[in-house]
A and B are shown apart, each in its own frame.
Chain A
Amino acid sequence: MSWLVWRQYRASAAISAVFLAAFAALIVITGLRIAAQFHAAMGPCLAAHDCRWPADNLVLDGGPLGFLVEFTLAVPAVLGMFLGAPLVAREIETGTGQFAWTQSVTRRRWLAVKVGWLLLAALAWGGAVGALVTWWSGPKNAAYLNVFSPGTFDVQGIMPAAYSLFAMALGIAAGTLIRRVLPALGVTLFGYFGVRLIFMGWIRQHYMTPVTTIYSLAANPLPSGPFWELGQGFRGPNGPISMPNGDNIAIVGNGFPASAVPAACNTGPHHLENMLSCLSQHGYVQYLTYQPAYRYWPFQFIEAGIFVALAAALIAVTFAVINRRDA
């Protein structure tokens, strides 16, 4: 059975191995270049232990192909579409299922072996791409403290492996339920990005209750490390202060909107310090809502767990359906 899997997929395996090798070469070349830039720029302050993070002015240029890293968020979708979706759908579309499923192997056993190998391939591929991107991003993570930000979080650590498992399972389930390759490809593509977008935009921030800190208007005490900022602003005695819309908004220190300064503190533009202390005395503060940096790995494991569970549910559906439906 495994022999048949190998015989059927060896071409795909070879092609994807070539792609992976090419990607790895690119990652190593551009990654070394970025690391060199990072050390050239930050070496002195690292040695003196007085670097300021994030180093927003540092430009780390991965070269013309450095942007490829951003596209690795599509790798799971590609695996799910081109390996997962055809698994059952192509057997049904071309009729070869009638050969495969009338040998002395039950459909579930056939499916178990194929699904097992494909999930393993997804894990290996997603894991390899994730590891390469994580290594490549090391200097950027250190310089910009953005590893927790949406978009960056998603292509590093264990996320690519978990997303790959999910996308592969989604492709397999879609192909089994829809029984046609092309529609199954479409469902896998849109389903994968749709679910990912929902988690990235609306669900991830709620895994743990965010931390909100309140500090004085004059202060600028950012949390340490790559925290994930969810919201910030000002609060007065009567609750949050809404920022006025528009392009040219007059602000006083630290972005406090001039329009919200009460008459009692309106000391004119030349006495900023006085104005800020006056505002503080009147109960005006800054707040910051965020997920602290130490939650990065818990978040990785929570989201990876959710996507592995989704994958397991999709595979369970596939197993339930393959025996019940006509082949």
Chain B
Amino acid sequence: MNEETGGLAIETSGLTKRYRRAAALSECSVTVPVGRISALVGPNGAGKSTLLRLLTGLAWPTGGSAVVLGGTPRQDPAFLAEIGYLAQDVPLYGRLSAEDHVRAGARLNLRWDGAAARTRLRQLGIPLDRAVGTLSGGQRAQVGLSLALAKRPRLLLLDEPVAALDPLARRHFLSTLTSAVAESDGGLTVMLSSHLIADLERVCDHLILLAEARVQLCGDIEDLLAEHMVLVGPRKDTSAIERAHTIVHATKTPRQTTLVIRRGGPVIDPAYQAEDISLEDLVLAYMGAAAPAAYTHLSTVGEE
């Protein structure tokens, strides 16, 4: 893989994970170029954790395939060495200290930068000798991130790492993450899932949106924002718009129609006022479009 020519860190095609009753992830085809910080968003149960676990090799797909850093996720030291993974709720050995974890990592990995992890934790004022179970959620998340980074991975997969953190701890966490990416000089690719779009907007340049176990959006955030726009106009037939563009989501009140569209070209209907779309509105539009009908109806009533 050549980073200069824009290789792919992750490429999945038709990736599917079925459990006995339902699909946790269905026909998922996404690509993430090397060096991106990709935001993985979607409602609860959309398949975010499943996708991350499939990419690490912790879970096996029931269909489709994934290519991660040029190979299939598998039980192989060479593959595992390239992946840094931080699972949801930061599961660490509660009775062991951060120092114990750093030492364990040194024995479980050939490439291990324990010194960097210790330095980072000291800078953050996190005690290395206390049992990890007694640390705060924010401190534990920092320990988890430092351990994942100590592997010097080429791909960092983080599952809701900031969900339980207060705003300050969140900011610390994300700045640790962005400085690690900056230090890697484009060699580190990150995928992180979160509900907090404002946070993601600050650090991410790539977006994957999952809803109902399916991929709704995948691409560079800049491109996605340029492709979509919000149209506000009078309540009238939208079939003319639909011919030229794709309507992602429509909100109709008695007087006014608000459309989120994927542009098929320039918008020329003077009845509509075109606006740029924010990342949050874009995500919400797709999440609303994928939600069951009853849910959409309720949200529309609520807006009236």
Which A residues are closer than 8 A to B by beta carbons? Answer: 1, 3-4, 7-8, 94-108, 323-324, 326-327
The residue in chain B whose Cβ has the minimal distance to the Cβ of A94 is B91
Q: Which residues of B are found within 8 Å of A97, using beta-carbon distances?
A: 91
B30 to chain A, nearest CB (A): 20
Q: A96-B92, A106-B80 are in contact. List 16 more A-B contacts (CB 8 A).
A: A1-B107, A3-B104, A4-B104, A95-B88, A95-B89, A96-B91, A96-B93, A98-B58, A98-B91, A99-B101, A101-B58, A102-B58, A102-B85, A103-B80, A105-B80, A327-B58
**18 interchain pairs (CB within 8 A)?**
A7-B103, A7-B104, A8-B93, A98-B91, A99-B87, A99-B91, A99-B101, A101-B58, A102-B85, A104-B81, A104-B111, A104-B151, A105-B77, A105-B108, A106-B80, A326-B53, A326-B58, A327-B58
As a 0/1 sequence over residues 84 to 107 of chain B, the CB contacts with chain A under 8 angstroms (1 = contact) are 110111011110100011011101
Instruction: Please tell me if B75 contacts chain A, counting CB pairs below 8 Å.
Output: yes
Interface contact B107-A4, CB-CB below 8 Å? yes
Interface contact A326-B93, CB-CB below 8 Å? no
Q: Which residues of B are found within 8 Å of A96, using beta-carbon distances?
A: 91-93
Instruction: Please tell me if B56 contacts chain A, counting CB pairs below 8 Å.
Output: yes
A259 to chain B, nearest CB (A): 65
Instruction: Please tell me if B110 contacts chain A, counting CB pairs below 8 Å.
Output: yes
Interface contact A98-B87, CB-CB below 8 Å? yes
The residue in chain B whose Cβ has the minimal distance to the Cβ of A95 is B91
Interface contact A7-B89, CB-CB below 8 Å? no
Q: Which residues of A are found within 8 Å of B60, using beta-carbon distances?
A: 324, 326
Interface of A is mostly: helix
B281 to chain A, nearest CB (A): 34
Interface contact B83-A102, CB-CB below 8 Å? yes
The residue in chain A whose Cβ has the minimal distance to the Cβ of B54 is A326
The residue in chain B whose Cβ has the minimal distance to the Cβ of A100 is B108
State how many residues of chain B have any CB contact under 8 Å with chain A.
Answer: 36
Q: Which residues of B are found within 8 Å of A326, using beta-carbon distances?
A: 53, 58-60
With beta carbons under 8 angstroms apart, the residue of B59, B80, B92, B108 that contacts A4 is: B108
The residue in chain B whose Cβ has the minimal distance to the Cβ of A324 is B60
A94 to B131, CA, bound (A): 16
Q: Which residues of B are found within 8 Å of A324, using beta-carbon distances?
A: 60
Instruction: Please tell me if B147 contacts chain A, counting CB pairs below 8 Å.
Output: yes
Instruction: Please tell me if B76 contacts chain A, counting CB pairs below 8 Å.
Output: yes
Interface contact A7-B80, CB-CB below 8 Å? no
A136 to chain B, nearest CB (A): 36
B17 to chain A, nearest CB (A): 9
A324 to B74, CA, bound (A): 11
Given contacts A98-B91, A102-B58, contact A7 B100 (CB under 8 A): yes
Given contacts A4-B104, A8-B93, A105-B80, contact A98 B85 (CB under 8 A): yes
Q: Which residues of A are found within 8 Å of B101, using beta-carbon distances?
A: 99
Interface contact B59-A99, CB-CB below 8 Å? no
Given contacts A7-B100, A107-B75, A323-B75, contact A102 B92 (CB under 8 A): no
A107 to B83, CA, bound (A): 15
Which B residues are closer than 8 A to A by beta carbons? Answer: 53, 56-60, 75-78, 80-81, 83-85, 87-89, 91-94, 96, 100-101, 103-105, 107-111, 144, 147, 151
B80 to chain A, nearest CB (A): 5
B11 to chain A, nearest CB (A): 20
B268 to chain A, nearest CB (A): 52
The residue in chain A whose Cβ has the minimal distance to the Cβ of B83 is A102
Q: Which residues of B are found within 8 Å of A106, using beta-carbon distances?
A: 75-77, 80
The residue in chain B whose Cβ has the minimal distance to the Cβ of A2 is B107
Question: Which are the 4 A-B pairs with shortest beta-carbon distances?
Answer: A95-B91, A103-B108, A326-B59, A98-B87
Given contacts A94-B91, A326-B53, contact A104 B75 (CB under 8 A): no
Q: Which residues of A are found within 8 Å of B84, using beta-carbon distances?
A: 102
Interface contact B89-A3, CB-CB below 8 Å? no
A188 to chain B, nearest CB (A): 23
The residue in chain A whose Cβ has the minimal distance to the Cβ of B97 is A7
B18 to chain A, nearest CB (A): 12
A324 to B85, CA, bound (A): 20
With beta carbons under 8 angstroms apart, the residue of A4, A95, A104, A105 that contacts B87 is: A95
The residue in chain A whose Cβ has the minimal distance to the Cβ of B159 is A98
The residue in chain B whose Cβ has the minimal distance to the Cβ of A4 is B104
A93 to chain B, nearest CB (A): 10
With beta carbons under 8 angstroms apart, the residue of A8, A99, A323 that contacts B147 is: A99
Q: Which residues of A are found within 8 Å of B85, using beta-carbon distances?
A: 98, 102
Q: Which residues of A are found within 8 Å of B94, using beta-carbon distances?
A: 94
A1 to B107, CA, bound (A): 6
Q: Which residues of B are found within 8 Å of A323, using beta-carbon distances?
A: 75
A4 to B109, CA, bound (A): 12
B82 to chain A, nearest CB (A): 9
Interface contact B107-A104, CB-CB below 8 Å? no
Given contacts A7-B96, A98-B87, contact A103 B151 (CB under 8 A): yes
With beta carbons under 8 angstroms apart, the residue of B75, B87, B144 that contacts A108 is: B75
Q: Which residues of B are found within 8 Å of A101, using beta-carbon distances?
A: 58
**Which of A95, A100, A104 counts the most chain B CB atoms within 10 A?**
A104
Q: Which residues of A are found within 8 Å of B58, using beta-carbon distances?
A: 98, 101-102, 326-327
The residue in chain B whose Cβ has the minimal distance to the Cβ of A90 is B93
Q: Which residues of A are found within 8 Å of B111, using beta-carbon distances?
A: 104
Q: Which residues of A are found within 8 Å of B108, using beta-carbon distances?
A: 1, 4, 100, 103-105
A106 to B110, CA, bound (A): 13
A108 to B80, CA, bound (A): 13
A107 to B77, CA, bound (A): 10
Q: Which residues of B are found within 8 Å of A327, using beta-carbon distances?
A: 58-59
Interface contact B103-A3, CB-CB below 8 Å? yes
A95 to B107, CA, bound (A): 20
